[in-house]
């Protein structure tokens, strides 16, 4: 399923993806979760993931990016134009060893290959975001994908964790209340 969905996502023409990225970024920017957040955890898009990088620089917000440490994700502040280098799995990560306490993070934008209407996520299979979500129930986690990758349901394992919201170019969905 991962391989098929990744191939479908990567086959979407770049100009179409850019248009969808702009709409999704606008929806995130206007959401109360983003407006009220002081610290936002963002990701560096890889493999045709939705690109939200134009959010960086919004006044009054601190942006932090994930770095793999063992079996966990930690977040560090970074300037995405100069403070990132290929890390685990070749994904750009902050070069700083400074970690932000998750209690300071108000919103985590979560990439995924696909999400379902209940907030379940299909990622790359390592469980980093599942562990992060489970350990931080007071943080808002918002999944990000294109509408065609918001599925009716996904296979769910006992260790899978759900995001509270999913944003696509069609809107922001509340897990279970689409």
* Average pLDDT for the chain: 94
CATH for 2-174 (3.30.565.10, 3.40.50.10420, 3.30.360.10, 2.10.50.10): 3.40.50.10420
The domain locations on the chain are: 2-174
Strand duo 62-69 + 114-116: pairing: unpaired
98: tokens are 């400074």
pLDDT at residue 57 in the model: 87
**Lowest-confidence pick of 55-64, 68-77, 85-94, 169-178:** 169-178
Tens digit of pLDDT for each residue in 33-52? 999 999 999 999 999 999 99
The answer on pLDDT for 176 being more than 60 is: no
Tens digit of pLDDT for each residue in 104-148? 999 999 999 999 999 999 998 889 999 999 999 999 999 999 999
Contact status, residue 75 vs residue 99, Cβ threshold 8 Å: yes
Contact status, residue 37 vs residue 23, Cβ threshold 8 Å: no
Q: What is the pTM of this model?
A: 0.94
- Work out the burial of residue 36: count CB atoms within 10 Å of its CB; fewer than 13 is exposed, 13-18 middle, 19 or more buried: exposed
């Amino acid at each position: 399923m991962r391989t098929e969905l990744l191939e479908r996502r990567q086959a979407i023409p770049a100009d179409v993806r850019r248009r969808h990225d702009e709409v999704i970024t606008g929806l995130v920017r206007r959401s109360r979760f983003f407006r009220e957040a002081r610290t936002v955890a963002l990701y560096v898009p890889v493999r045709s993931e939705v690109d939200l990088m134009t959010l960086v620089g919004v006044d009054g917000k601190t942006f932090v990016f994930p770095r793999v440490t063992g079996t966990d994700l930690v977040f560090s502040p970074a300037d995405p134009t100069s403070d990132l280098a290929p890390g685990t799995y070749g994904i750009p990560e902050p070069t700083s060893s400074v970690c932000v306490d998750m209690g300071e993070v108000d919103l985590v934008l979560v990439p995924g290959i696909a999400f379902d209407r209940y907030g379940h996520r299909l990622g790359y299979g390592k469980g980093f975001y599942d562990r992060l979500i489970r350990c931080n129930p007071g943080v808002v986690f918002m999944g990000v994908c294109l509408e065609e990758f918001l599925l009716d349901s996904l296979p769910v394992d006992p260790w899978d964790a759900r995001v509270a919201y999913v944003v696509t170019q069609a809107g922001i969905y509340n897990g279970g209340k689409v």
